[in-house]
Structure 1
């Protein structure tokens, strides 16, 4: 992204984990900008998946960049999740919402269309700089135009197309085309599943070997306590006690993340 404030060399040498902890503590925009630069590759990868779908790549890229900023602001390093797993649903969600909202239905003057693009870009840069959504007067000042012109372009951008949700987009040669319905900006149903899987993986890594066997056999392999007791050479009561202990640990860990 352009106009990213430069951080100190010392900050740039920190690991991603250290930077996330530092940003969580300070909310320093310079720290966030370093993280933005390091993870822009995710924006590039995800944006390219939506090329030739009716909206210019530059616009998609800018929207995805906003999604990355949102993800960095929301990410909690203490939960132990991978940032890339956390950020992807957020970025894709922003892109899908943009596809849902954009598309000129009437002939709008070229100057209005161009100003609308500049406004979208200004929103990204001002959001990044000030850490809050910009107001109309902020955008007007940034672009060197009047508030009336900004409002005119923003209002004109609501001239959306009325098209079928079953409309197919060519999927760059893939066998299956993408329907407009698939690009709707609904809440990603897989987001919670990703969080849950990350939480379980982090929790299991904190258990000892016997505890891991019990939780996997009981809840993933559908084995009875008696079966597990025979394999471990212990009583069923011992397995039952250990299972209760594991569940108690699980509840305690979950309380930390909700």
Structure 2
């Protein structure tokens, strides 16, 4: 599995605080305040209700800790782990009021990010026999990109750039406005520092030949090409550039795309269309 890395604790705290503020509103959790004694304690369990891949534990734990540092959060699973229905993910014990108030925020993060990890794993598992890696795009939920990209890694995928400042990615509109592939690459080469990679999108083999002849690119994005054309493109590149396939990648097509020999396959739907994984929090019995 791809290394998960560590989520920035400052980013985690800010995201959790914003989510809790949105949920608690001006008056706080009036239901819990009205029905639960102030000194009540609770033992709760977060469990999977469907199979999938886990992601988002740091945010779930932070949601409880933000309302009551005294709450004990014990993870039974780790981010990146496979889940089966009924698997216990974490046990929570402590003051009942803040534990119940944090429940939805914790589950929202955990369910959404586990959904992203699960979607990623469904693609990655299909191409495990090839050299290709599934990678994400910038098609992410505003404000959640760093967490969704973390979830992609939990699902066995790889990250594309995090933002517009990560690398130069010349798309078809850039080429159209610049006037030509050569003009766009000339500008990129003159602008880029020695640590900045240059990627360029092509949608025909003729455009690929122009990129190869120019020599400035590090990565070529092969957009909306069928497996046979991708195979020819990989042969022409012959290892001189990193090759990335994109465009309408689905579970039905990803295997053939990977078997063409490309290095990366970018899939927007693993972040922008991933269903939430069904997880539940219940009072522990026994």
Same fold at TM > 0.5: no
* TM-score w.r.t. length of structure 1: 0.28
TM-score norm. by structure 2 comes to: 0.26
Q: Identify the structure with the greater strand proportion.
A: 2
Structure with higher helix content: 1
Higher RCO (CA-CA < 8 Å; seq separation 6+) = 2
